[in-house]
Each structure stands twice: as structure tokens, then as C-alpha cells.
Chain A
């Protein structure tokens, strides 16, 4: 028995006749940053949906932290520490940046079935939220409605939200997508720090970032993992080059 914090065992997912996840088995080890790469439509986002519980698998098992979470809803998995970000930015647009983070802190501190007392004035929640925003250079933007932030800021905010939810493992779906050079550099630096704190599953198209960050890389094509290994071994893998990297490198 492996004691890897996240274990995918033969998981499958069909959308109609389309097999989007095809018998994927993968262990995410403690302390590793595991990148999943693959062409568009390979099923990477669907895989994150299945792991996070946003979509249920048709078959197979997902073990997190020693528990079978295969049938648990997303909220319950999140409370266990299995926390994700979204490829398409998902924030609370009319909430300030601060409240976006503070409400995630709230999720993991005390009951939310509390009907009195102004939540937006709880110092413990706000202090933790400000600390996280600072980490992403967003402290000065705390009062801005999240919907009015720039795309790059929203991407950073989303990771701050995920961290506020006290993850034990982080699932990041293309966090760098659409960010400027400076912003993605900043995010890569943050990820370099984060990887020391918790295991991360990273889906990313930016190959430089992937090879700079990942301990291991898995390649997903048509819902199957065709190769898994160190960044170097993936770079050297002929099948991967043919299926994916070749076209990228060109």
C-alpha cells in the first residue's frame, strides 16, 4: 500500500460517447510538484474536475489522505484539504479582493451558521486574508471589487483564495494562462515557494515553467497517461515528442 497523499486508481470519465478520462492511475507523492501536460482537449481539466469532485468519475477510486473520496462532493473534499483553482477564473466578482480571500479563511475557521456579528469586520479573518494578499502583491488592491481587477490580478487572487482554504494538496489548472510576462514570473516564484509547503498538481502549457518547477511530469493524450517521469525523461521520450512536445518545440 502506497501512502502517497493522492492516489488515482483506474479512474474513467465519459461524456456521451467520448471517453475523456481513460483509465488513469497516478500517485502524487508527498512534497512533489507534479505537472500534467498534454494537448488541448486531452482531458486535463476534466481530470482536475474529477479529483476535486466538481465532476464524478464513472469508475475507479480516488484516495486522498488515506480516505476514499471518490463519492464525496467538492465542498467536502475541499474541507479535507483537497483544494483547486480553475482554468477559467472563478472568483466572487462583486466581493472585494479582501472578502474573496476572507470568506475562504472563514470556510476553515469556525462555523458559518452564525447569524449575528459583521463577518467583514472579523479581525482574525481579515488579518489572515491581508497576509495572503500581501504574499501576492495584492494588499494595495484589497478593497477593489474582484470583478474589476485585471486578468493577471484575478489569477493571483484565485491562488490566494485557494491557499486561504488551508489546502493539504493544491490542484492548479493553468494558473499562468493569459498572464503577462511579469505576472507569470511572479506566479512562478510564488509556486517555487509553495512547492516547499505542500504537494501540487500543476496543469500548465508554459513548458519553461513546467520544466523549471516540476519534480515529475505526466503526459496526458486522449485521456490516457502516455508517459510519466522526471522532466528530463519526458523531454527525451520519443512518443511524447511525437504526440505533443514536437509541435510545441517547433
Chain B
């Protein structure tokens, strides 16, 4: 084992061997290839619910992947990440209820609102550490939840149904479920490539270094706070986009999107799929959603079964499902 590592060091000290690098690309490649081909199954007569289910998987994956930047790469365990999904979703629904259905405007608002909320709540939360950080992010998430329930004009507790999906360039093409699917697919792929670049960049390396040992990073001149806050804002904005897609896919928003249970789901998805790999979030989202879907056919209390699964993963498969494939980056 040690010898192998040593040989690598001689051949190319900075980099993994090309062979190993290829394997690291293989799993995400397969995952995206499958997603790209799913709509074709409709040709063979599969029902449209599969399209809707997989669209929702990709939207969940997008939110979980953004959370991976925080938890997996930044060791910032946010328990309020669903707040941004809610912000993105409500941006669409509230604007639509006022007749503003242009997707670009809705998206710009979703991104701006997420940015502002992440900046201010992150600036406060990141002054704390450990369990306090978890609690304060939870509290900010709950604040949004209760704000949502109190918005009587926008449905309060009951939420709000979208009159129509977002329009782009004056076209309503997202009405088509296959189009909706590929929009979600494109966004997920784009976000994956963006986050891949970010975690490998100078910025990402600093973020990973802070995860490893913040005091060491301070001692060589990096102030963790500003890097963590930047990551917090990026992750919030990506989750906001996931909310934008979710509102469009379900054509409905409600405060339940921002409930702490949804934030917990996102963490569960990450642990299940494997932290700190990005595609782990996607695999986790798929397994989570499929399990929920299948189990719900058999029992109302399907959520009960998730507890033991989580315990098994944590005890026996620390790297999550991705870890079982042995390709973690």
C-alpha cells in the first residue's frame, strides 16, 4: 500500500495517476448518462410518473449537492439548508401570483434573495462553531418556515398553487414534462461542473484546508471566516435554484418546503450517498427518493425504515454509497 503511494509520488507528485483519475470520473459519468437517457424510456411506454419522479430526484440532488459544498468540503453542518429551496420556490410563486412569469426575472430574484439571506444569516452563524452553528442555522430556517406560514396573502400554511410554469423567451416550453426534465438535468449538470471546478480551485483548496484544520490555515495566513461565508453564499444560491425548479415541477409551493425535516432530509441524502464527492449527493438523492417511493407502497410509516438504514450506513459504510465504489475525491 505504502509502496504504491510512493511510486505515485515519484511519477507525478502532485497528481493522482491518470488511471485513478479516470475511475473518479467514471461514476459521475454513468450517473449523468443514466439521467440523460431516462426520458427515452417513455418511448417504451413507461408512465410519466417516472419522468416526474426522476425530475424531483435531480432537484433534490441539486440542493443536496450544494449542501455538500458546506458539509463535505467546508465542515459547516448547516441544518437550515431547506430555507433556500423555500426562498427559490416562493420567488417563483409570489412573482407568478403577480403576473410576472418570466423565468429569467424569477431566477434573478431567487438568486438575489438567496444571496442576501445566505450572506446575512451566514455572517452571523459562522461566528459560532460546532453544535451552535447547527442550532443557529436551524433557527434561521425555522424563521423562514414561520414567515411562510404567516404569509396569508400567499396561502399561509396551505401554500400557493402556480398559475403556470416559468416562461423563457416568452415561451411556455417548460409546460412539457420532458422539457422540464431536461431543464433540471441541464441545471444539475451545470451545477455539478461548477462545483467540481470550485472544490479543485484555489478557493476550494482553502475551504478543504479549513475543514481539515482551521488553526493550521490561520497560521499560514488564511482567515477562515471569509472563505466559509463565500461558500455559504454559493451553496445558498444553488439551493435557491433548486427551489426555483421545484416550484416549477410541482407547480405548488408551501412553507413545508422550508421545514427542518426537509433540511434533515438533505443531510440524510448526503450521508447516504457519501459526503465530499458531489456525485454522492446525486446517488443519495436517487436512493432516498426511490426508497421513499417504493416503501410508501407498502406502509404508511415508511419513514420509520430510514432510521435503521441511516444507522447502518453510519456504522458500516462511512463513505456512503459512493464510498462503496471506492472513488472519493
Residues of A within 8 A of B (CB): 52, 54, 73-76, 78-79, 83-84, 86, 90-96, 98-99, 102-104, 106-108, 110-122, 126, 130, 139-145, 148, 161-162, 164-165
Contact = CB atoms under 8 A, between A and B. Distances in A.
A165 B230 CA distance: 23
B124 interface: no
Given A54-B215, A116-B197, A117-B201, A83 B14 contact: no
A148 B222 CA distance: 24
Contacts of A54: 215, 218-219
A-B complex: 3 closest residue pairs judged by Cβ atoms: A143-B9, A142-B13, A78-B221
A187 B147 CA distance: 61
A121 B14 contact: yes
Contacts, number: 136
B297 interface: no
B213 A115 contact: no
Given A98-B14, A143-B8, A143-B9, A107 B197 contact: no
B281 to A, nearest CB: 19
A122 B204 CA distance: 14
B6 to A, nearest CB: 7
Contact of B209 (A78, A92, A111): A92
A112 B223 contact: no
B197 A115 contact: yes
B202 interface: yes
B175 interface: no
A142 B9 contact: yes
A96 to B, nearest CB: 8
Given A119-B200, A120-B15, A143 B6 contact: yes
Interface string B193-224: 00001101111111011001101111111110
Given A115-B201, A143-B6, A143-B9, A84 B14 contact: no
Contacts of B2: 144, 148
Contact of B219 (A52, A110, A115): A52
B24 to A, nearest CB: 13
Given A52-B219, A106-B202, A121-B15, 17 more contacts: A54-B218, A75-B218, A95-B212, A98-B13, A106-B206, A112-B202, A112-B206, A112-B227, A117-B197, A118-B201, A121-B14, A122-B202, A141-B9, A144-B9, A162-B219, A164-B220, A165-B221
